[in-house]
Amino acid sequence: MKRRIEVIMAVVLLLGACFFAREGARMVENSKAQTGEVCVVIDAGHGGDDPGKIGVNKAKEKEINLEIAKKLKNILEKEQIKVVMTRTDDAGLYQQSSSNKKVEDMRKRVEIVSEAKPVFTVSIHQNSYPQESVKGAQVFYYGQSQEGKKLAETLQKALVEHLDPQNHRQAKANESYYLLKKTDSPTVIVECGFLSNYQEAQMLVKKEYQEKVAQAVAAGILECLQSGQKSKI
Residues forming beta bridges with residue 194, ordered by sequence position:
127
Which residue minimizes CB distance to Zn ion?
Answer: 125
The pattern of x and - marking residues 197 through 216 that bind Zn ion according to CB under 5 A reads --------------------
List the one residue from 125, 135, 149, 150 that touches Zn ion (CB under 5 A): 125
Q: How many residues bind Zn ion (CB under 5 A)?
A: 3
Toward Zn ion, which CB reaches closer, 52 or 55?
52
Cα angle 205, 210, 211 (rounded to 5 degrees) comes to 150
Instruction: Give the Cα separation of 62 and 45 in Å (integer).
Output: 6
**Minimum gap (Å) between residue 50 Cβ and Zn ion:** 9
List the one residue from 52, 92, 148, 220 that touches Zn ion (CB under 5 A): 52
| Angle formed by the axes of helices 207-232 and 146-162, nearest 10° | 140
Binding to Zn ion (CB under 5 A) within 152-171 occurs at: none
Instruction: Give the Cα separation of 198 and 133 in Å (integer).
Output: 9
Toward Zn ion, which CB reaches closer, 127 or 156?
127
Q: In what order do the strands lie in the sheet containing 39-44?
A: 82-85, 39-44, 120-127, 187-194, 138-142, 172-174
**Minimum gap (Å) between residue 214 Cβ and Zn ion:** 17
The pattern of x and - marking residues 10 through 49 that bind Zn ion according to CB under 5 A reads -----------------------------------x----
Toward Zn ion, which CB reaches closer, 177 or 198?
177
Nearest to 192 by CA among 212, 213, 208, 220: 213
Nearest to 104 by CA among 43, 174, 51, 178: 178
Residues that bind Zn ion (CB under 5 A): 45, 52, 125
